[in-house]
Amino acid sequence: MAPWFLRGLRRGVVTTRYPARRDSSADDLPTPPRFRAGEMTHEIAERLAAVCPSQALRRDGGVLVYDVGACTACGRCEEAAPGVAAPGGQFELAVTRRADLVKRIPLRGEASS
């Protein structure tokens, strides 16, 4: 008996059932962050915008403009503001309109400049 045949019988089908069923490997993927809007101050927003290497975060007036499409899930914003930014967990992010990926998060407090 060929060794791969027995191995195959033991292990079963390895193909994922996605999209019919969840694939457990999705849990370990690096994903774009989610933000605590309640704690997002102007100052934190400026810091996050400066630290993002991909220009995904930008402060525009009283809003943090967050381009999910440009995010590389590098994690620097989570390092810079650990309580505010956390891994988002969403990987099904494909869109048919580019604007759907640009999120605007309202900032708390007054502008410092």
Partner 1 sequence: MSTSNDAGDTARAADELRRRVARQFRRSLHIRTLDTGSCAACEQEIRLLTAPHYDLHRLGFFFTPAPRHADLLMVTGPAVRAMDVAARKTYDAIPDPKIVVATGACALGGVYQPDLFVHGAVDKVLPVDVWIPGCPPSPLALLHGLLVAVDRLAAKAAQLSFTVTGETR
Question: Interface residues with partner 1 (CB under 8 A)?
Answer: 14-16, 18-19, 23, 25-26, 29, 32-38, 53-56, 63, 66-74, 86, 88, 90-98, 100-101, 103-106
Least distance between partner 1 and beta carbon 66 (Å): 6
Q: How many CB atoms lie within 10 A of CB 25?
A: 9
Q: Which is nearer to partner 1, 1 or 20 (CB)?
A: 20
The DSSP bridge partners found for residue 67 are 102
Closest distance to partner 1 from the beta carbon of 112 (Å)? 21
Cα-based distances in Å from 27 to 23, 56, 97: 8, 23, 26
User: 79: part of which helix (H) or strand (E)?
Assistant: helix 76-80
Q: How far is the CB of 30 from partner 1 (least distance, A)?
A: 8
Question: Using CA atoms, how far apart are residues 34 and 108, in angstroms rounded to an integer?
Answer: 16
